[in-house]
Amino acid sequence: MQLKIDGKLIALSEAGWLENLDEWSEEVAYGIAKNEKVELTDEHWDIVNTARKYFVNNNVVAEPRKFSKLMKEKFGADRSSSKYIYSLFPYGLVKSANKIAGLPRPKGCS
């Protein structure tokens, strides 16, 4: 799988995960989001940016419970539940939001 961004081909795995994490950009995120059938809004970007910041600071993808706690601390209880995240990313944090954020595919994730 590939994305074409500004004339450059970006390699994706068969499941749509970014092959080279260093190639991530907002434009790449929009391309992956389109493949995931997600239209990015400011609320989506809050999740994407929080996930990316956690990864950069900890060198690991946040587990869903940890991520909900981070979202609650930053944005409040209304924007931290699994239900809220699934309302924005139909395949959830692990399979969709992290993919759009250009993070590595977690072990055990298809």
109 is known as an active-site residue:
yes
Is the Cβ–Cβ distance between 92 and 86 less than 8 Å?
yes
SS3 string of 92-105? HHHHHHHHHCCCCC
Compute the distance between CA of residue 59 and CA of residue 87 in angstroms, rounded to an integer: 27
Annotated catalytic residue within 52, 53, 92, 109: 109
Give the residue numbers annotated as catalytic, written as ranges.
109
